[in-house]
Every structure is written in C-alpha cells, then in structure tokens.
Amino acid sequence: MTIETMPLAKALNAGLRKAMQDDPRVLLMGEDIGPLGGVFRVTEHLQAEFGDRRVLDTPLAESGIVGSAIGLAMAGFRPVCEIQFDGFVFPAFDQITTQLAKLTNRHEGSLSLPVVIRIPYGGHIGAIEHHQESPEAYFTHTPGLRVVSPSTPNDAYWMIQEAIASNDPVIFLEPKSKYWQKGEVELDASAAPLHATRVVRRGTDVTLVGHGAMVTTLLQAAALAEAEGTSCEVIDVRSLSPVDYGPILDSVRSTGRMVYAQEAPQHTSVGSEIAATVMERAFYALEAPVLRVSGFDTPFPPAKLEGAYLPDADRVLEAVDRSLAY
C-alpha cells in the first residue's frame, strides 16, 4: 500500500490530477485556477500539466462558470467548477438550484449532468464577510443535488474522484481552515463510498456527530472528555445529502445520547435535520434530547470575533455535560 502524508489542499490537487489522467472528459473551470493555482493553490501546476483547454481561467462571473459547466456536461464533458469563497456562490445560485439540480428530472432521467462545484467554506481563517460562511443547508434543501464534505486529506483525495465520477451534480464543500492540515493518504487503497458516514473514534457514553472542520473539534472535545472520565464516540457525516444514517443510529442506540456540532447557524440547518431524524428513528433509545452546538443565528461577524461565534471544544463539552445531566 502506498501512503503519503500531505495537506488536505495537496490531497485535493492529487485527486483532481488522478481524475484528469483517468478521464479526458474531465476539465476544471474557475477564477485564477490556471497559472496561479487558485487562491488556496488547490489546482497548482495542473494547467501546466494538462493545458489551458482543460484547466480554464474564467472571467469573474460565477453564474457564467456554472452555466457554461451545465452546457459542457450536456455535451459529454465532466466539468469541475471552483468557487473561490463560499459567499461568492450566490451569483450562481439560480443556475445551481433551478437548472443544474432540476434538468435531469425535467428530462425524466435521460440527461445526466456530471458537474462538480467545489466550494471552500467555513471559518477560522480570519477573513472578511462573505469569506467564512457555511451555506450547506441551501444545497441540502435542494432536491437533485448531492452534497458532500471531506474532513481529512485521505477523504479529500478519494471523495473528489468519486464526485467527478458521479453522473449527478455534486456540491463539494471543502473546509478551508483544514487546507493545511496534514494527514496520511492511501493512494492505492479502495475508497469508502462517497455517501458513507464514518465512525472516527469509538466511545460508550455520548455520540458526537459533525461534518467538515468540526470533526477535528469533536475529536479534541472527545479527548478532553476522556480525561474527565467520559467516553465519546465521534462520527463524521461526510455526506450531507444523502445522509447515511445507519452508523449514526447504531451509535445513538448504544450511547443513548447525541450532540451535533456545526459552524453554520442553527436554525433550519443540517444539524437540525439530522437531530430531528435521530429523534424520530431512535427515540426510545435516547436518554436525553439530541443537542446542537452551532454558529449563532446572526450574520458572520468580523474576523476578530470569529472565535466567539464558531463552536469550539469547550462549547461541545458543555453540551456533553448537559446531555449527561438528564
């Protein structure tokens, strides 16, 4: 088995390179993704390797990027669009939600739209407004879109390839605060299914569930809880739509308690949906209500206040304590 240690951004770069080597129909589109390699250097050196007809620097026009990708997919290509920051996706929102998500259904399944839209999302980078938001609920609420988010370099490497191979449109959410977090990547292993939930730490007292960058925070909280005598199981959702509920429900039926953590605001969020489903499907196993730890229901604050806005291990532990107190 070939294993390399690399940051998440480099794992994405390697995954994109592998997908382009394997399938000449794969092409990349986005602002500054060519010679610059993108703001976060995820596409670094790919234009030099594959040429400017497969790694396309586009105008500053997200609606045009996604609209062009839809046309290319209809013509048989497999385009991968980069949105520079989460807040910049909204000029393309109409193309994504009223065209990309619906065209396959509109054609009664006879038309496939293998489009991947990569969106760096989330906080912890000290950026300004519209650069640190978590808009995942908009897309999980939209039928016709698959929505996934890796939390480790290994998942990033494999999930981007699986997303590109999908015949359905995929919103690929990249936790930008983890771009520089290193981890082992199994370059020739078999990948977990794109929409599989993963148990990343075993425990017996409380189930901690989250996605993206919050998985690291949950692992930190679990380590601190263990020092205090509480055993927490940590689950990485990975796929936000569809959700693989099996491992989550199995864990909750074992521990009797669950805390969901996310950077996004709490109201009508991914965490809200998963909490409601667990309450419906594992109600009689629960010893306490499902609790949520989230960003606040306000616009994302200035960078100096992001530490007060985003959930940390202490806020997760406080929820664990409340759950155990029932």
Active site residue ranges = 131
**Cα angle 242, 12, 84; round to 5:** 85
Which residues, in sequence order, are CB contacts of 257 under 8 Å at separation 6+? 205, 206, 207, 286, 287, 288, 323, 324
Could you identify the residue written with the tokens 């070939």? Answer: 2
Of 224, 243, 251, 245, nearest to 316 by C-alpha is 224
Of 195, 194, 154, 227, nearest to 2 by C-alpha is 154
Residue 268's alpha-carbon distances to 138, 141, 265, 271, 280, in angstroms, are: 10, 10, 8, 8, 17
Number of C-alpha atoms within 13 angstroms, CB side, residue 113?
Answer: 28
Contact indicator for 185, 5 with CB cutoff of 8 Å:
yes
